[in-house]
Amino acid sequence: MEIARTKAEIRRLVGVAKKAGQTVGFVATLGALHGGHMSLIERARKETDFVVVSIFLNPTQFGPDEDLDEYPRQEEKDLALCEKAGVDVVFAPSVEQMYPSGHCTVVKIEGLSEKLCGANRPGFFAGVSTVVAKLFNIVEPDIAYFGQKDAQQGLIIKRMVEELDMPIEIRMCQTVREEEGLAMSSRNAYLDAKQRKQANCLYQALQEGKKLIEGGQVDRDKVTAAMERVITQAGPCSIDYVAAVDSQSLEPATAENRSWLLALAVRIGRSRLIDNIVVEIPGPS
């Protein structure tokens, strides 16, 4: 496995692979790799010839009061995990390498970026879409893999690729969960044992919402109220949002929608945790 620290180096390595006719798969990460990332890498390994993983803790997607400073950093461990998973190249640039000068170019997906997490984290998705655009232009992958846990991020990146005509295919991969349902996340590391147990309420709330919808409940407020009850009963926390939205537009779900996204963001201790599921509603027969 090679480690590229500069744009020139990763371009050279990918160039060689492409020249040899290999397809390039790409997984973009902030580092602190967990089972979710590994499942993306495994899929890229299966479906493409040359697998690139980026490890870049992108400062522009953290707000001034957010957890950039305490976000887990474990490069040595991450590199070992990539090596073991058969990654061909890790691209691990410095902040200076990615943002050499005052950065004034922004790629923004208006509308989609302001909803759900975007409402609580202004500027977050512009930071994400801009750095992903840069990474796509540097790595030039054929296929890029993202996790369904970050459903809104996935929709935004798909829209960006489509509307900017980037010659890249985006594949979304299932959320990987701990045994009791907690979605894997680098931010789970901030939880102590008790909070970790409490955090299972996110998944339980999603299951409660799913059960109600599948039982015929199409009033989104009733669905989200029931989900909120599951969360607040589990212990002290602060709910950023609990939402039932159309899974494509992220507009509030209505009885007409056939595909609902149940999504939530909850702060437990120092962790802001997110999770979601898509519930398909069979059409009238």
User: Binding string, 73-102, against its own copies, x = CB under 8 A?
Assistant: ----------------------------x-
Nearer to its own copies, 19 or 285 (CB): 19
Provide the residue count of the chain.
285
Closest CA to 208 of 196, 199, 217, 197: 217
Strands 143-147 and 24-29: parallel
Q: Which of 37, 121, 187, 196 is catalytic?
A: 37
Count the residues of the shown chain that bind its own copies, applying the rule CB under 8 A.
28
Nearer to its own copies, 125 or 203 (CB): 125
DSSP 188-225: GGG--HHHHHHTHHHHHHHHHHHHHHHTT---HHHHHH
Nearer to its own copies, 106 or 225 (CB): 106
Nearer to its own copies, 11 or 177 (CB): 11
Mark whether 103 is an active-site residue: no
DSSP 252: B
DSSP 89: E
Site for its own copies in 11-70 (CB under 8 A): 11
Site for its own copies in 134-173 (CB under 8 A): 134, 137-138, 140, 159-160, 162-167
Nearer to its own copies, 14 or 202 (CB): 14
- Distance of alpha carbon 197 from alpha carbon 124, whole angstroms: 28
Query: 14 with 139: CB under 8 angstroms?
Result: yes
User: Binding string, 101-140, against its own copies, x = CB under 8 A?
Assistant: x-xxxxxxxxxx----------------xx--xx--xx-x
Least separation, in Å, of the C-beta of 73 and its own copies? 24
Query: 203 with 183: CB under 8 angstroms?
Result: yes
Site for its own copies in 190-219 (CB under 8 A): none
Tokens describing residue 218: 């199409």
Burial of 213-243, coded b for 16+ CB within 10 Å and e otherwise, reads: beeeebebeebbebbbebbeebeebeebbbb
- Distance of alpha carbon 48 from alpha carbon 89, whole angstroms: 13
Query: 25 with 47: CB under 8 angstroms?
Result: yes
Residues with catalytic function: 37
- Interface residues toward its own copies, by CB under 8 A: 7, 11, 101, 103-112, 129-130, 133-134, 137-138, 140, 159-160, 162-167
